[in-house]
Structure 1
Amino acid sequence: MLRSSLRVLKRRQSTLNSGIWSNFTERPTSLQIQNESIKKDIFNQLPQDQKPASILNYDEKQQYHSPIDIDETFEMAYKILEKDSESKYKVINKLKSAIEQKQNANEDVTDLKDQLDKILVDAEIENPEVLYNTEFVNSELLDKSQPVYRELLKQKWQDYDLLVTMQRLEQLHVIPDTLPTLDPKADVKIKFTHNTDSNFIDWVTPGSLLPAFAVSKPPTIQIQEFERKEGKDNLYTILLVNPDTPNLETNSFKTTLHYGLKNVSLNNEDNTIDVSRILKNGPKITFSEYVPLTPEKNAPTQRACLWVFRQDSKIDKTNEDKENFDIRKFVDDHKLTAIGAHVWRQKFDRSVPKVREEYGLGRGRVFDKIRGTEPLNL
């Protein structure tokens, strides 16, 4: 009985490991499951007394039972999908040859690369290993140079994170108080890595209310483009503005600039603006140093609105009024295209005085809780 089971297992292993999805001579190894134990459990028939390595919770592992005929169904479906993928890879190889020929002749290959990306997605989007990685592996560890991962991450983003972000931007009137609209093309995430408090170390949910100490240092900004972005020619501008700065002269509010980056070179894989990038390229890309929002006492809750733009060309000098920043004029003047945004909120808290002192902002003002309807005569 044992020998018979081993023969079946070996036959099944050889069958599932003989096609295109098991060939990594021309395909990147990032498309396979890196954990050997989990990969073995997925592709091999488990003994009755063994539970999947992918289940970490002991109680869930004890309760797990494989569905009836799941192994046979998986093997049959795998063969069908892999055979379809093999036919697509024949087209992929022809496209790669055509691209190489055109590149050698210094001809434009953009259209051919677009075709290649589409077929690469079709060839891998049903691959169980790719699907497992997208669902269960930290997205920061995925190989974003692979079109299939970008496509699957885009689908996940559209199903949840994009909806949350757009809801908060509209609910909090970031749109249209700062810019009139947004056609989102990139997943923009931020976190403040200087924090040690577990409540503030993760990626910030759009619209979150944060204390001053939690945002006292520049944020790490991740900009995940889903379109193909290669090399160092993709330039971006990042603006952090506060449209809720009290303006005593008009008894209203004005927009102030709190952080400004320009000519930031990013691509699909190198997509994060963090401390190391700022230390290395700070003087070249920073045109407005980071100053955190520090709402004064009795001032309304303020919005920190972070916008990400693609640049058509390199931006040279900027001479902006940070205290009365016109973000719409800045965008028009420099021909910027908004591709993503984020927002968090702040109000006066006990940590504000210390942060104001750290940045040399003075003691701050205390506003009357009752706001008049007439402009102040100062």
Structure 2
Amino acid sequence: MFALRKLPTALPRPLARTIRANATLASTSEAAPSTPEEPAALEAATTQGRRKRKVPLKRPPISLENPRKWNRPLTPGVIPAYDLALAYLRQDSANLKKELEELRGVIKAKEGEYKVLEKRVLELREKEAGVEERTKARSELDAVDAELEKLLEKADILEVQSEVNLPDVRWTVSNAMADMSKVSHRALLEQKWRKDGDLDLLMERLYQMHVVPDVLPEIHPSLDLHVVARTKPKEFLNSDSKKVQMNVEPGTFLRPKQTLVPPKLFASVFHTDTRLYTMLLVDPDVPQPDTESFTTYLHWMKPNIPLSATSPSKLSDLNTHTKYIPPHPQRGTPYHRYVCLLLPQPPLGASEYTLTAASRATGPTSMHLDIPVVPEAERLGFNVREFTRRWNLNAAKGGGAHMWREVWDEDVSAVYKDILNKPEPRYSRPPKADPYVEVKQKKKYIA
């Protein structure tokens, strides 16, 4: 018999390392016979106690090109309350889906009733029946159409409620994998735009910098419009991403060199039917010395842009109508506001856009406008309000808006020389009136 001797609590570092290594080697040699893998095991054992380099784990990017499925954060049984909550959400979604299916049956029957009444109205028109009979048939058709509109609105609400609280749906939308054909995904994206600050920031800048009412009396955006321009050289050199393009925050300052080429426009739309929009880019701060005021210059225009929730977010072929002229703030003037508007064109055969019209449409639900190209001589002094009034473009009923600011620098001279082909004007502030000019001209001392 022998007694185990307790080692001292504090050993010299070399001795402690030797004891740990020997103990490890002894335990491994006694546990199993030698194998071809023994050298690797010994090498791994001898590295115990050493400081290893931590390699950061990199998750692959998640997007529509690289999708990923939602996984439960907890396995079943770890937290029973979580399992019950998830089961409750699933059951509630199933109940709402069942109610939605019943409502869709009612909608289908109502659509059949609408088609019968529509056919009757057409027959009465061809037969040139009496005014009272045609009016009665038309009123019945409008009543059924109004009922259908309410039923479709309720169906959308039920579909949103049946999916919007599911964890996998919210995770999918928050990770940029939203399916814009699903009403629940569109509702979550619109809610994020309206409540997370992007729309608030845009409206704050539009009112702070007096875009409303200088350009238009009312602007109520219904879609998210983004502007992408060239990156500033300083930001490009100081950033790690080395991106050559940047997302323009509303109201920020850009250099004229960043907008020598047309900026890229992106729109997040939340309606499923294809509607037509007219794009404008205007500068309302061009000095007008004759009247000692300011006028507007039209930099860019493109009508009849088709947009829907499932269309590409990037707006293409924008330079095929009134071509782009780069911003050129005049020397000696304060900063210029550059306002980009995406105005909705009037709907076909109605005063408002409706879900019923969208469900029956086989093409665009907006009127096609034959807006002529604005010549160079008419760009200066472009009246935005008169233009929108003439073509029935109402920014108070939706659309998109964005704005940024620029001041003069040396690059503006190149725009006047190479693009506008005219001499560059120079302005200065008028001198302040001196109230003591008469006193200064009088002699101070009289002999």
Q: What is the TM-score of this pair, normalised by structure 2? A: 0.62
**CA, structure 1 residues 199+359, in 2 after alignment: closer, same or farther (shift >3 Å)?**
farther
Match of 1:247 among 288, 305, 322: 288
- Please report how far the alpha carbon of residue 293 of structure 1 lies from its aligned counterpart in structure 2 after TM superposition: 1.1
**CA, structure 1 residues 89+41, in 2 after alignment: closer, same or farther (shift >3 Å)?**
closer
Q: Does 1:210 align with 2:229?
A: no
Match of 1:126 among 142, 161, 165: 165
**CA, structure 1 residues 111+271, in 2 after alignment: closer, same or farther (shift >3 Å)?**
farther
Equivalent residue of 1:278, what SS?
A: coil
**Cα deviations across residues 320-340 of structure 1 (Å, max 9, x unaligned)?**
532111101111111112123
- Please report how far the alpha carbon of residue 185 of structure 1 lies from its aligned counterpart in structure 2 after TM superposition: 1.8
Match of 2:372 among 318, 332, 335: 318
Equivalent residue of 1:207, what SS?
A: coil
Note the residue ranges of structure 1 that are not aligned, 5 or more in a row: 1-29, 46-68, 374-378
**Cα deviations across residues 313-366 of structure 1 (Å, max 9, x unaligned)?**
221133653211110111111111212311100001233233444423445222
Q: Tell me, in whole angstroms, the C-alpha distance in 2 between the residues paired with 1:245 and 1:164.
A: 25
Q: Tell me, in whole angstroms, the C-alpha distance in 1 between the residues paired with 2:422 and 2:314.
A: 30
Does the 8 Å CA contact 1:213/1:355 hold for their aligned counterparts? no
**Cα deviations across residues 174-203 of structure 1 (Å, max 9, x unaligned)?**
011101122232222111269894577232
- Corresponding residue for residue 52 of structure 1: none
**Cα deviations across residues 240-290 of structure 1 (Å, max 9, x unaligned)?**
11110111222221011111111111101215343xx207xx54xx2x211
Match of 1:186 among 216, 223, 229: 223
Q: Which aligned pairs between 1:1-378 and structure 2 lie closer than 5 A?
A: 34-36=67-69, 39-42=70-73, 44=75, 71-99=79-107, 107=115, 110-135=149-174, 137-138=175-176, 141-159=177-195, 160-192=197-229, 197=236, 201-226=245-270, 228-230=271-273, 232=274, 234-270=275-311, 272-274=313-315, 277-278=316-317, 283=320, 286=321, 288-312=322-346, 313-318=367-372, 320=374, 321-338=378-395, 339=398, 340-370=400-430
Q: Tell me, in whole angstroms, the C-alpha distance in 2 between the residues paired with 1:201 and 1:260.
A: 22
Does the 8 Å CA contact 1:262/1:315 hold for their aligned counterparts? yes
**CA, structure 1 residues 122+255, in 2 after alignment: closer, same or farther (shift >3 Å)?**
same
Aligned AA (1:255)? T
Does the 8 Å CA contact 2:231/2:244 hold for their aligned counterparts? no
Q: Tell me, in whole angstroms, the C-alpha distance in 1 between the residues paired with 2:114 and 2:424.
A: 60
**CA, structure 1 residues 245+187, in 2 after alignment: closer, same or farther (shift >3 Å)?**
same
Aligned AA (2:391)? H
Q: Which has the larger radius of gyration?
A: 2
**CA, structure 1 residues 76+166, in 2 after alignment: closer, same or farther (shift >3 Å)?**
same
Identical columns (%)? 28
Does the 8 Å CA contact 2:286/2:330 hold for their aligned counterparts? no
Aligned AA (2:266)? Q
- Please report how far the alpha carbon of residue 173 of structure 1 lies from its aligned counterpart in structure 2 after TM superposition: 0.5
Does the 8 Å CA contact 1:300/1:347 hold for their aligned counterparts? yes
Q: Tell me, in whole angstroms, the C-alpha distance in 2 between the residues paired with 1:124 and 1:225.
A: 20
Note the residue ranges of structure 2 that are not aligned, 5 or more in a row: 1-62, 116-144, 237-241, 347-366, 434-447
Equivalent residue of 2:279, what SS?
A: strand
**CA, structure 1 residues 319+132, in 2 after alignment: closer, same or farther (shift >3 Å)?**
closer
Aligned AA (1:203)? N
After alignment, is 359-368 or 105-114 more displaced? 105-114
**CA, structure 1 residues 76+290, in 2 after alignment: closer, same or farther (shift >3 Å)?**
same
Equivalent residue of 1:343, what SS?
A: strand
Equivalent residue of 1:237, what SS?
A: strand
- Please report how far the alpha carbon of residue 111 of structure 1 lies from its aligned counterpart in structure 2 after TM superposition: 4.1
Does the 8 Å CA contact 1:191/1:221 hold for their aligned counterparts? yes
Aligned AA (1:146)? K
Q: What is the TM-score of this pair, normalised by structure 1? A: 0.72
Q: Tell me, in whole angstroms, the C-alpha distance in 1 between the residues paired with 2:243 and 2:208.
A: 24
**CA, structure 1 residues 40+369, in 2 after alignment: closer, same or farther (shift >3 Å)?**
same
Aligned AA (1:87)? N
- Please report how far the alpha carbon of residue 300 of structure 1 lies from its aligned counterpart in structure 2 after TM superposition: 1.1
RMSD of aligned residue pairs (Cα, Å) = 3.0
**CA, structure 1 residues 100+371, in 2 after alignment: closer, same or farther (shift >3 Å)?**
farther
Does the 8 Å CA contact 1:193/1:220 hold for their aligned counterparts? no
Equivalent residue of 2:344, what SS?
A: strand
Aligned AA (1:223)? A
Does the 8 Å CA contact 1:303/1:346 hold for their aligned counterparts? yes
Q: Tell me, in whole angstroms, the C-alpha distance in 2 between the residues paired with 1:104 and 1:220.
A: 45
Does the 8 Å CA contact 1:311/1:336 hold for their aligned counterparts? yes
Equivalent residue of 1:40, what SS?
A: coil
- Corresponding residue for residue 62 of structure 1: none
